[in-house]
Structure 1
C-alpha cells in the first residue's frame, strides 16, 4: 500500500478561473490562479485596478463561484459563504440603525448560535475593548469617525471567530495616521489569537502590504489576470513601524514591488502608444 505523503495546504487555490457573461461575450476576470496558504499566514494581494484582486477574495469567501478550478479550505471545497470566513470591506458595512455594540453582537449571535448568551456578550465586550471602543459602544455609526467605524468592522470580524479573515481594502479610505494605527491594532488582535488566524488582504498600498504580510501576491493586469510574482517578506515579528520601514530588507522589497508594478504600466503604455501610431 502506497502512503500519500503530500501535505495538504490549509487554504489551496488551484487552477482558479472566474469568468462572467457580458453583453459583449464571456469576460475572463482571472485565470490559472494557484496559491497555497498556510494556517496563520498573512497574505496580501496587490496590483492595478481591474486585475481581479477582489474577485479572488470573493472566491475564497464563497460569494463568487469559480468557472474553473477550485478553492479548498481544510481540504473541503468552498461552495458558498460560511462562518469560518469573516470579511471586512472598505465601506464598513455597519447597520446604521444599530449602535456599535449591537452591530457586533448581532453578528456574533448569528455566527455562534450554540454559544451561551453571556459568553456572547463577554466576547463583544472583549473585542470592543481591544480596539478601544468600549466607551463608544452606545453610539450609532453616524456618530463616529471613519476610523472608528473600521475598528468596529474589524472587531466584529474577529468576534465571530472565523478561521480566515478576508480584508478588501479595509483601510483605503482612511488618512495615513488612522491607517497606521489600525495596522497596529490588526496585528495586536492577530497576535492575541496566537497567530492562528489566516488573513488575506487586498490592497493598493505597497507599504501596508509589506508591513503586515508574510507574502505578497503581485497580479498581472486584467483581463484574464494571473499571478505575476509572489514576494516573501522575511521581516521579523513583532513589527514596529518606525524600525521596520528603516530596515534594509524593507527598502529592497519595496523597490522590487514598485519596479514590478511600474514596469507593467510602462509596458502597457508602450502597447497603447503602438496602437495609437497604427491608428
Structure 2
C-alpha cells in the first residue's frame, strides 16, 4: 500500500457562469519518504491538489487517502509551509515555533516542548536570532522559521507551496540545503510534496516531478523520475548527463504552452492588422 494515494481526483467550484473545474482525473501515488514536486504554469491546479492533500479542499470526485485512510480535513500529520511564511508578527522566532509545538504535540511536557523548539531553532541556524520578531528578519530568516516550525511539530508529511518563490537566488539555494539537511536528519522519513515554478529547484530536491497540463480542468501530463544520487551537490549534479536531459525535457514540456500562446498572439495580431 502506498503512503499517499490520489485516485480520479476532481476539484470543481460553482461560479456565476456555472461549474469551474480546476483539476480532473488526477491519479498519483507517493511512497513514504519521497520528495515529489508539482510544476506547471499558473492556474494549472498545483496548489489545488496540495490543498486537497492538506484537507483544506473536499474532492468533488475521487479520493485522497493517507495510509489507507481518507483525508477528511487538516491534521497534525501534515505540516504546511507557504510562500508568505505565515508567521505571527507579534511573536518572536522562539514563540512562533513553540506555539505550534505546544498546539500540535500533545504527549510531551512543557519542558520537552521547549527542548523540541530549541532543537529546531538550532538546526536552522537561528539560535542567535531567537528573540527577534518577524519584522526584524530577512525573507530567508523568516522562511527558516517557517520550515523549522513545520518540522518541529513532527508531521509525517510536509506540504510546501512555493516556499522559496520570494527569495533571491543565493538565499533560495541556502534554503534548499537547509531543507535537505532537516530531511536527512529525520532519516528521510518525511514525505515532502512541493509546488514550484522553478525547474532547477524541482530537479535538485525531488525524487519525482509531476508536470501538469494547463487549466482549467488541468490534469497530470507526465511524471518524470530522477535518479540523481543523494546527497546532492549542486555544482556536481548540473554537469551530470541525466540532469541536462531531465532539464531539457521539462523545459520542452513547459515551453509548448508558450509557443502556442505566441502563435495565437501573432495570428490575432495579423487578423487585427488585416
TM-score (ref. length: structure 2)? 0.96
Match of 2:245 among 227, 238, 252: 252
Deviations 1:218-248 (A, max 9, x none): 0000000000000001000000111111211
CA distance in 1: counterparts of 2:115 and 2:253, whole angstroms: 46
Matched, 1:33 2:26: yes
Structure 2 match to 1:193: 186
After TM superposition, list the pairs within 5 Å mapping 1:1-279 onto structure 2.
8-271=1-264
Superposed structure 1 runs of 4+ greater than 6 Å apart: 275-279
Cα distance in 2, alignment partners of residues 68 and 267 from structure 1: 31
Following superposition, the deviation at residue 269 of structure 1 comes to 3.9
Could you state the TM-score of these two structures normalised by the residue count of structure 1?
0.95
Q: Alignment partner of 2:197: what SS?
A: coil
CA RMSD of aligned residues (A): 1.3
Cα distance in 1 for partners of 2:43, 2:215 equals 6
Q: Separation in 2 of the partners of 1:221 and 1:141?
A: 36
- Structure 1 gaps, min length 5: 1-7
Matched residue count: 272
Larger mean Cα displacement after TM superposition, 262-271 or 118-127? 262-271
